[in-house]
Structure 1
């Protein structure tokens, strides 16, 4: 894997949604690095990508309430175990579970394994609430997929919070989730 500065030189073979992410970052004047790789869908698959990008692994989990009337994108460190009961109490909402792949496609324009904060670009109706674990906010750099899981990008966390989220008209809720352990 190679670390590149900015967008791919050639857009052929790239999905339109990926190119829209680069267009957004470029229009906001955000400096970013990119690496291309085989499809990654698990934290274990991402270890080498994160080593190349020099970022801490971050899970992007797409969740919904029991009634499927509220959707959430949760960003947590890769080494944390999600306890949905704990998160449900913190936001507060009824029992949380993982949302379907169809809902992920519908609301974020991404497929399972490609969940990313950049998918909020495709949520103009604000159906998805962004939740960010406080540990993610402490990192200088943030890594994510550009809406496909065959590339990954890195840019300043501050740029994500102050520029990207503002541009896609989304806010976030900071959550403090406990470390590890089994779900109860």
Structure 2
């Protein structure tokens, strides 16, 4: 049975440095967050139990790029929505998007497949990646995301995400309707 905990883990031994950096970042901002630890979750289906415990809007976080690999996007959409890349490309006014190679994900966000998270933008100090959020993600009080590793999931207030976290990462969110 998964258990909801408040804030960072008391014992961070065995945790990856990039996960600890997320907790340091959120704590420095004064953001209150809840956490649930679990086995590695690689799919939306595997996240279902953690989703129930978090009681937050759970997002698919997709790392996309243009065919020429010059523009990169982190797209947050509600977990049960279907992605049509042609439609998203049109809304963004860009060439057809596809899933970006994991080497770019690691280089720009310090994240591996299965762990993609808006919080990875804190590692994108040169702003290689544009954040795009489906407007339905913003309708709930809370948003769920990984702390750059898929063995924990966090719940943060949507208002804190938009008003504190994203600005502190020096990124802006482009809001679209999917």
Category of TM-score, reference length = shorter chain: over 0.9
For 1:49-64, what aligned pairs fall within 5 Å after superposition? 49-64=50-65
- Per the alignment, in what secondary structure is the counterpart of residue 57 of structure 2? coil
1:157-168 residue pairs with structure 2 within 5 A?
Answer: 157-168=158-169
Q: Which residue in 1 is equivalent to 2:81? A: 80
Match of 1:181 in 2: none
Secondary structure of the 2:82 match is coil
Task: Find the counterpart in structure 2 of residue 130 from structure 1.
Answer: 131
Distance 1:138 1:92 in 2: 25
Indicate yes or no: 2:32 matched with 1:26: no
The secondary structure found in structure 2 opposite 1:60 is: strand
**CA displacement, residues 145-166 of structure 1 (integer Å, 9 cap, x when unaligned):** 0000000000101101110111
Counterpart-to-counterpart distance in 1, 2:86 and 2:117: 23
Q: Which residue number in structure 2 is paired with residue 147 of structure 1?
A: 148
1:128-180: CA deviation from partner (whole Å, max 9, x where unpaired):
00000000011110100000000000010110111011111000100101xxx
What's the TM-score, normalizing by structure 2?
Answer: 0.98
After TM superposition, the structure 1 stretch with the greater mean CA deviation from structure 2, 30-39 or 49-58, is 49-58
SS of the residue corresponding to residue 57 of structure 1 reads: strand
The Cα shift of 1:56 comes to 2.6
Superimposed CA distance per residue, residues 52-77 of structure 1 (whole angstroms, 9 cap, x where no aligned partner): 11113210000000100000000000
Paired residues for 1:37-52 under 5 Å: 37-52=38-53
SS of 1:174's partner is strand
TM-score, length-scaled by structure 1: 0.95
Indicate if the aligned counterparts of 1:47 and 1:57 stay in contact, CA closer than 8 A: no
CA–CA separation in structure 2 for the residues paired with 1:58 and 1:95: 22
Offset, 1:106: 0.6
Displaced runs of 4 or more, over 6 A: none
CA-atom RMSD in angstroms: 0.6
| Matched length | 177
- How far apart in 2 are the matches of 1:77 and 1:41? 16
Aligned to 1:35, the other structure's residue is in SS state strand
